[in-house]
A and B are shown apart, each in its own frame.
Chain A
Amino acid sequence: MNESRARPGAPLPEAGAGAAQLAAEDVAFRYPGSAALALDGVTLQVPRGSLCAVIGPNGSGKSTLARILVGRLRPVRGRALFEGRPPAAWPRRELARRIGVVTQSEETVFPLTVRALVAMGRYPHLAPFSAESAADRNAIAAALDACHVAHLAERGMAQLSGGERQRARIARALAQDAATLVLDEPTAALDIAHEMAIFELLVRLRRERGVTVLLVTHNLNLAARYADQLLLLDAGRAVAAGVAADVVTRERIERSYHWPVNVFPHAGPGRDAGAPQVTPLARIPELDPKPEPDPHA
């Protein structure tokens, strides 16, 4: 990590080794003008150097939770903590040196080159008028390499495929040199190869650099295989949390997603053999390609 990084003036409470990197304590949130709570009493601890996946149906509050954890939204009840302090208590630039965020979508009206986009990740490290230093250029090059987009550096973002664009955006978050990454559906609309590449990149970052990762995803199967812990949200409430075997069960998934599923252990090969894998079942038997009696009947 960057040695010259200035720690904020105040001593950090409960920021010792083993403390949760990201935490939510009984967090509730209501969007202005909405009657219902988008989040209601969610508690989560993401230990340093772990990979946490937030899963749940559309509109269950996954993105809202991610936004609260990184300080984009303020909870109406409870509190979020990053390294022991509420995100709002951090100076914004200091927070940006410590958390890299990949949001769901970005504008592409005036596309930059990949290199310029990744270089943006150095923003929190640069004084207003200073040029990029050797350290900045190294961080940019390392991020381009880690995400396998170095060969695309001079291409415009508009000329990339969806997977390449997403890798460039993750590279920008890496260039921030942040020890924590928060990603909101980074593999939406990607094919299996690109999706696997991003999951493996996140696992590698966690293993090799001790990066803490919070990932919002709809891919239950990859989340079950790669995450250290999962949080299942349903209508703003945390209905299950813990390791995949406890969260990704047939009962819980069916109850939250309102769809019949089968859950079988991953056959392997690999260290993640045995991880629960979800297969949705047909609800209209005559549309099932191979008609079988409903296993839940």
Chain B
Amino acid sequence: MIARLLLLALIIALAVLLSLTVGAAAVPAAEVVRALLGDTDATTRTIVLELRLPRAVLAVLAGGALALAGCVFQALLRNPLAEPYVLGVAGGAAVGAVGAVVLGLAALAPAAVPIAALAGAAAAIVLVLGIALRTGDALDTRVLLLAGVVVGAFFNAVILLLLTLADVESFRSAVFWMMGSVASASWRAVALLALYLVPVTAVLVALARPLNAIAVGEETAHHLGVPVERVKLLGYFLASLAVAASVAACGVIGFIGLIVPHALRLLWGADHRLLLPASVLAGGGFLLLADTAARTVAAPAELPVGVITALIGVPLFVALLRRRPA
């Protein structure tokens, strides 16, 4: 287990190194190392430390958070189709962000977009968990899924309404936001996200054993002594927070949260003691590599990173699915 996690950490380290070398100005690996040690000219330093490194760290954080949240939702909902946005968090965040763009707040203060996205995501969490808590059994899986779908659909309608009212420039930037990107990375954004994600990730990873039990069945988990209701509430809430943070920082990056946990399950099995930390590392590494590809393959143009995650991820996943033993 440790060996597998170290392998993933090594892949992330190599991916970071790769992402620091490639781009509009190629910086050789040796120069990158020197820049990291603070021993190089100012231009290279700026490129490596102020432009590329925060972007790489942001990608690792956001990818890790999305894959982790997807994994937690899949276990709690016992549904392989669950993904980070299944409870409407992305819809809420998008309403906030698109609203900020269309209403012109974004032009006044760039920080308005992530703040509005976070507020929208929080509203979605409160709405969906509130509906599920008030209906029948505490956090019934089916009610929660339906609440997520319905609230998501409502937010989508609001987004379409806002986009209809938008001028061409706002429309374009709103749509780009919704496609997701880590291009706006800064050390401040990274620090804020890390401050928020690290404790959330730690608690979620510590829930591995109860999640194993709940994935088998809530009744079984109850009989094993798992405080099922508390674990569910904590899991849904913290995973939603992680998604909200990632969406506020990077927009809606699809696919990672669905596919990374599945790929790891196919490779290494469904035990959450390995699966949760592995999802964080693999999700982070995957988004970083995808982002590196997104900003290099069609340079100087930059592709939406969500396009790359799907274009690389789908064939990879299909290949894994085919080699799975019956």
**Interface residues in chain A, defined as those with a beta carbon under 8 Å from any beta carbon in chain B:** 70, 72, 92-97, 99-101, 103, 105-107, 109-113, 116-117, 120-121, 123-124, 126, 128-129, 156, 159, 176
Contacts and interface: CB of A to CB of B under 8 A. Distances in A.
Interface of B: 74-75, 78-80, 206, 209-210, 212-213, 215-217, 219-220, 222-227, 265, 269-271, 325-326
Nearest to A96: B225
Contacts of A109: 78-80, 215
Contact of B206 (A106, A112, A129): A129
Contacts of A123: 209-210, 213, 224-226
A174 to B, nearest CB: 13
14 contacts: A72-B219, A72-B223, A101-B220, A106-B217, A107-B216, A109-B78, A109-B215, A110-B215, A110-B270, A112-B271, A116-B270, A117-B216, A120-B224, A123-B224
Contacts of B213: 120, 123
Nearest to B136: A32
A106 B225 contact: no
Given A107-B78, A159-B325, A113 B223 contact: no
Given A72-B223, A96-B223, A120-B224, 8 more contacts: A96-B225, A101-B220, A109-B78, A112-B212, A112-B216, A120-B213, A120-B216, A156-B269
Contact of B269 (A94, A105, A113): A113
A99 B223 CA distance: 8
B196 to A, nearest CB: 22
Contacts of A106: 216-217, 220
Nearest to B215: A110
Nearest to A117: B216
Nearest to B74: A110
B269 A97 contact: no
A96 B224 contact: yes
Contacts of B210: 123
Nearest to A176: B224
Given A72-B219, A103-B217, A110-B75, A116 B224 contact: no
A126 B224 CA distance: 11
Nearest to B219: A103
Closest 7 A/B residue pairs (Cβ): A96-B225, A124-B225, A101-B223, A93-B225, A110-B270, A106-B217, A123-B224
